[in-house]
A and B are shown apart, each in its own frame.
Chain A
Amino acid sequence: MAASMRIINGRVYDPTNNVDGEIKEICIQDGKIVASAGDDVTVIDAKGMVIMPGGVDIHCHIAGPKVNAARKLQPEDHRHDVHPATPFTRSGTGGTVPSTFATGYRYATLGYTTAMEAAVTPIGARHTLEEFHDTPVIDKGFYVLLANNIFLQKLLKEKRMEEFDQAVAWWISSTKAYTVKLVNPGGDEPWKGKKNSNVSDIDELNDEGLTPRKIIEAFVKTVNARGFPHPPHIHCNNLGHSGNYITTLETMKTANGLRAHIAHIQFHSYGGEIGKNPVSKATEIIDYVNNNSNITCDVGQVMFGKSTIMTADAPLAYVLKGHSKGKWVNADTECESGCGIVPFTYQEHIYMHTLQWAIGLELFLLSKDPWRVMLSTDHPNGGSFQSYPKLIKLLMDKGFRREEMKRVNQKALINTILPDLEREYTLNEIAIITRAGPAKALGLHNKGQLGVGADADITIYDDMEDKEEMFNAPRYVIKSGHLIIENHEFRNDFNGRLLHIAPEYDKKIEEVVQPFFEDYYSIEFANYAVDDHYLHDHEVIPLGETHS
């Protein structure tokens, strides 16, 4: 049961409510922030400590079939990183793709209380929800992959836009998703059917007579018109290729003033020619983001060390497996998507890896609106979420950043303006890019803030000079009013909620979709939609303002 609590004497960073480092009392009752609590409640004296809302990860890969395939692919990643059980919590394994229990607990030990799985095929939704049920502490939701869905592309090709709109709503409702995810729109089908080929331009026609731009445009319009709390979450075409920044700019322009979120934008900010070393185009990309308030993005920072590439961008994974020369997985997910998994290591001495690292930092440091440029490593693609504290230190401490710059490939570094950037993030800005900003972009009004009525998801850090150390081990973590971590140790377990939306749709759309299932799917139509009993504890996030 959630406790009533008062947290006193702490320095509060709550950007949503314009609180920037004030000593302020926070009161909790029934899992929510309240204006006052009685005297006989638990009191936490946070003197010398920093209080922030619980962290919100807007883009990560933590559950579902592809994540599980990555776990199975890398037993060596787990056996040296055992996560022991405690009297309150369960055991697991770590590595770059931790087991379900370890994922929840390790997010909690960084002060994060919400995380969004960024790519789930509709047919994998049931599996994802089962894993969510075993991912403790954090609230979570997922984005459903629809941009390479053959049936939706058929409706677009035939210009059946009303049915397209209804079918998108049906797919979201049937899978209990949070928003739509577009990954390499239109790129998976050529990969599946034409010897690993891919689309290379946003205006390239596919065999269905569609271009990526048409697909993106259709989803942006539908999602905005329906007022989904989070706009389409877009992984642009040409990820990782030299010269891809033009595709990224064109993708953002395609939104035409409507809300759109560009995922891991660092991977889409490269200049240069295909087949040659890329150069940084961070300035061009961030200028566009700074000047267009309809665009939000997460950075997808690369962190040196072990990572695991996992993506629905199957052709990309196929290219990367040639670089890593190790084991990899590519899969075709029926009529819905593709998938690729490649264990990967980012190394300081390699030109490309250093450039990626530097571009990510350039994007952060050139951002004028931290509310719209959010922290992520595209876990585990650019690095594990467990490296967030180090990333925060890179942003907050220019001396540390300079020291790290000495260790990287200098040829790559001089192709960026990173050495000239002096900016240091403040604690308030860190609170924005890790909590308030993602919560706002997700339309989660009760998260990322500490105002009265908000969810009592709170993290309390010791105020330390070394920001990596500070953000690596919060002293207290409170989730929905439950004291989960006290003095750096687990004191409680908690099964977080599923966050999803439930857009309405005309039931007649099922009669349109069903024949396609009978012809091409391996699963009966009646068994496809996820049953409510998979939801466990859940919250339907209401739809917001509509835009068209």
Chain B
Amino acid sequence: MPLHLKLHTTPEVPLEAECICPDRMRGLSIDDINRLIVFHGNREMHLADFFECSGNNDGDIRVAGDLVNVKHVGSTMSFGLITIEGDIGVHAGAAMSGGKILIEGNASDWLAPEMLGGEIEVRGNAGHLVGSGYRGSTVGMQGGEIFIHGNVKNETGHCMRRGLIVVGGTSGDFTGVNMLAGTIIVIGEMGTRTGAGMKRGSIISLTKTSILPTFSLACNYSPVFIKQYLHYLLKKGYDIDSKIINGHFERWCGDAVELNRGEVLLYAD
């Protein structure tokens, strides 16, 4: 039986709950967990002031309630499973290095900033700056996988260096902006300025999109690695037409302002 945390008092201001994390709860009794520190605005309070806690503390945590104002859940986690039974607030999974976070509803902005490893699955939509770097940082996501079945907003994968982000729906503007390396796959439509300032890495879209003038068309081909990725996504529950899996892609090199070493791959048929 997992550890159940149920929100009993909706916070009036954002609640920073980095302690909702298997690493920080490891070996603690229910009483100890109740006494973990959360920040309610700028005040230190106890987890029990907001959450009712029950079950076994075995690395499997289920969190329920209206969590849109609860921040930093799963920050820096390295193992275990957190299941969010609904929507979650900003900074979920920040700098996590292992384990899995399953969000059954929607994720807010700043999902998994500077993620190092592990997996995040979002059944609904996510906000701006998925897998990005914090403002002032030069490197965003450095490893791990983020699977979003719905839509995302702007700046997905901002300055990411490694790892995989998959968006089942549409993405906003500046997808992969300043990307250093890694892979972003968008099944739906992308907004404008895709890959602006990217140094290396791959942005793959299964739908036509507008391309910046600083990208140049290299070729039209059917790369094996995309087939492998798409087969993997089928197993992850994404709906992908078999003709796309075997189809051709346009390879656009860019961004020319950063020496043309990145690529945007667009389904060509």
Listed in ascending order, the chain A residues whose CB lies under 8 Å from chain B are 72-76, 79, 82, 84-85, 90-91, 326-327
Q: Does B228 contact A (CB under 8 A)?
A: no
CB distance from B240 to the nearest CB of A (A): 38
Q: Quick one: closest A residue to B134, CB to CB?
A: A75
- Cβ–Cβ contact A74 & B42, under 8 A: no
A82 to B43, CA, bound (A): 10
Q: Does B136 contact A (CB under 8 A)?
A: yes
Q: What residues of B have a CB within 8 angstroms of the CB of A73 in the complex?
A: 136
* Total B residues in contact with A, Cβ cutoff 8 Å: 9
- Cβ–Cβ contact A82 & B134, under 8 A: no
Q: What residues of B have a CB within 8 angstroms of the CB of A74 in the complex?
A: 136
A74 to B44, CA, bound (A): 24
- Cβ–Cβ contact A326 & B43, under 8 A: no
CB distance from A489 to the nearest CB of B (A): 13
Q: What residues of B have a CB within 8 angstroms of the CB of A327 in the complex?
A: 136, 138
Q: List which B12-57 residues lie within 8 A (CB) of chain A.
A: 39, 42-44
- Apart from A75-B136, A82-B39, A327-B136, what 19 extra A-B contacts exist at CB < 8 Å? A73-B136, A75-B134, A75-B135, A75-B137, A76-B134, A76-B136, A76-B137, A79-B134, A84-B39, A84-B42, A84-B43, A84-B44, A85-B42, A85-B43, A90-B42, A91-B42, A91-B43, A326-B138, A327-B138
Closest 6 CB pairs of A and B: A91-B42, A75-B136, A85-B42, A84-B44, A85-B43, A76-B137
A175 to B33, CA, bound (A): 53
A426 to B43, CA, bound (A): 40
CB distance from B46 to the nearest CB of A (A): 13
Q: Quick one: closest A residue to B114, CB to CB?
A: A76
* B39, B42, B43 interface centre (most CB from chain A within 10 Å): B42
Q: What residues of B have a CB within 8 angstroms of the CB of A79 in the complex?
A: 134
Q: Quick one: closest B residue to A78, CB to CB?
A: B136
B interface, over-half SS = loop
CB distance from A493 to the nearest CB of B (A): 14
For B241-255 the 0/1 string (1 means CB < 8 A from A) is 000000000000000
Q: What residues of A have a CB within 8 angstroms of the CB of B134 in the complex?
A: 75-76, 79
CB distance from B114 to the nearest CB of A (A): 9
CB distance from B34 to the nearest CB of A (A): 19
A90 to B44, CA, bound (A): 12
Q: What residues of A have a CB within 8 angstroms of the CB of B44 in the complex?
A: 84
Q: What residues of A have a CB within 8 angstroms of the CB of B138 in the complex?
A: 326-327
CB distance from A328 to the nearest CB of B (A): 12
Pairs A–B under 8 Å by Cβ, sample size 24: A72-B136, A73-B136, A74-B136, A75-B134, A75-B135, A75-B136, A75-B137, A76-B134, A76-B136, A76-B137, A79-B134, A82-B39, A84-B39, A84-B42, A84-B43, A84-B44, A85-B42, A85-B43, A90-B42, A91-B42, A91-B43, A326-B138, A327-B136, A327-B138
Q: List which B118-151 residues lie within 8 A (CB) of chain A.
A: 134-138
CB distance from B92 to the nearest CB of A (A): 15
CB distance from B251 to the nearest CB of A (A): 32
Q: Quick one: closest B residue to A72, CB to CB?
A: B136
Q: What residues of B have a CB within 8 angstroms of the CB of A84 in the complex?
A: 39, 42-44
A327 to B134, CA, bound (A): 14
Q: Quick one: closest A residue to B136, CB to CB?
A: A75
CB distance from B227 to the nearest CB of A (A): 39
Q: What residues of A have a CB within 8 angstroms of the CB of B39 in the complex?
A: 82, 84
Q: Quick one: closest B residue to A87, CB to CB?
A: B43
CB distance from B112 to the nearest CB of A (A): 15
Q: What residues of B have a CB within 8 angstroms of the CB of A326 in the complex?
A: 138
Q: What residues of B have a CB within 8 angstroms of the CB of A76 in the complex?
A: 134, 136-137
A85 to B40, CA, bound (A): 10
Q: What residues of B have a CB within 8 angstroms of the CB of A85 in the complex?
A: 42-43
CB distance from A165 to the nearest CB of B (A): 45
A82 to B44, CA, bound (A): 10
A90 to B42, CA, bound (A): 8
Q: Quick one: closest B residue to A77, CB to CB?
A: B136
CB distance from A369 to the nearest CB of B (A): 44
A79 to B136, CA, bound (A): 12
CB distance from A95 to the nearest CB of B (A): 12
Q: What residues of A have a CB within 8 angstroms of the CB of B136 in the complex?
A: 72-76, 327
For B177-206 the 0/1 string (1 means CB < 8 A from A) is 000000000000000000000000000000
CB distance from A342 to the nearest CB of B (A): 14
Q: What residues of B have a CB within 8 angstroms of the CB of A82 in the complex?
A: 39
CB distance from B171 to the nearest CB of A (A): 25
For B219-239 the 0/1 string (1 means CB < 8 A from A) is 000000000000000000000
Q: Quick one: closest A residue to B133, CB to CB?
A: A76
A252 to B217, CA, bound (A): 66
A326 to B42, CA, bound (A): 31
CB distance from A86 to the nearest CB of B (A): 8
CB distance from A345 to the nearest CB of B (A): 15
Q: Quick one: closest B residue to A91, CB to CB?
A: B42
Q: Quick one: closest B residue to A85, CB to CB?
A: B42
